A and B are shown apart, each in its own frame.
Chain A
Amino acid sequence: MAFVSSGYNPDKPMENRISDIGPRDFNEFMPPVIKNNFGKWLYHEILEPGVLVHVAESGDEVYTVRCGTARLMSITLIREMCDIADKHCEGFLRFTTRNNVEFMVDSKDKMVALKEDLMSRKFDGGSYKFPVGGTGAGISNIVHTQGWVHCHTPATDASGTVKVIMDDLFEEFTGHNMPAPVRIAVACCLNMCGACHCSDIAVVGIHRKPPLIDHEYLDNLCEIPLAVASCPTGAVRPSKVEIDGKQFKTVAIKEERCMFCGNCYTMCPSLPLSDKEGDGIALMVGGKVSNRISMPKFSKVVVAFIPNEPPRWPTLTKTIRNIVEVYKADANKYERLGDWAERIGWERFFEKTGIEFTPHLIDDFRDPAYYTWRQSTQFKF
Chain B
Amino acid sequence: MAIVEFQGKSFDVDEDGFLLKFEEWCPEWVDFCKEGEGIKELNEEHQKVIDFLQDYYKKNGIAPMVRILSKVTGFKLKHIYELFPSGPGKGACKMAGLPKPTGCV
Binding site for B on A (CB under 8 A): 13-14, 191, 217, 220-226, 266-269
Contact = CB atoms under 8 A, between A and B. Distances in A.
Most B CB within 10 A of own CB, among A14, A191, A221, A223: A223
A191 B62 contact: no
Contact of B61 (A191, A217, A223, A267): A223
Contacts of A223: 57, 61-63, 99, 102
Contact of B103 (A13, A217, A266): A266
Nearest to A223: B62
Contacts of B104: 191, 266
Q: Which of A14, A224, A226 counts the most chain B CB atoms within 10 A?
A: A226
Interface string B5-42: 00000000000000011100000000000000010000
A267 B102 contact: yes
Contacts, number: 35
Nearest to B38: A13
Given A14-B38, A267-B102, A224 B61 contact: yes
A220 B102 contact: no
Q: Of residues B22, B38, B63, which shows the largest number of chain A Cβ atoms within 10 Å of its Cβ? A: B38
A226 B61 CA distance: 9
Contacts of B87: none
Contacts of A191: 104
B60 interface: yes
Interface residues of B, number: 15
Interface centre among A220, A222, A266 (most CB of B within 10 A): A220
Contacts of A13: 38, 85
B43 to A, nearest CB: 16
A360 to B, nearest CB: 27
Given A223-B61, A225-B60, A266-B104, A14 B85 contact: yes
Nearest to B21: A220
B102 A222 contact: yes
Which 4 pairs show the lowest CB-CB distances between chains A and B?
Answer: A13-B38, A223-B62, A225-B61, A225-B62
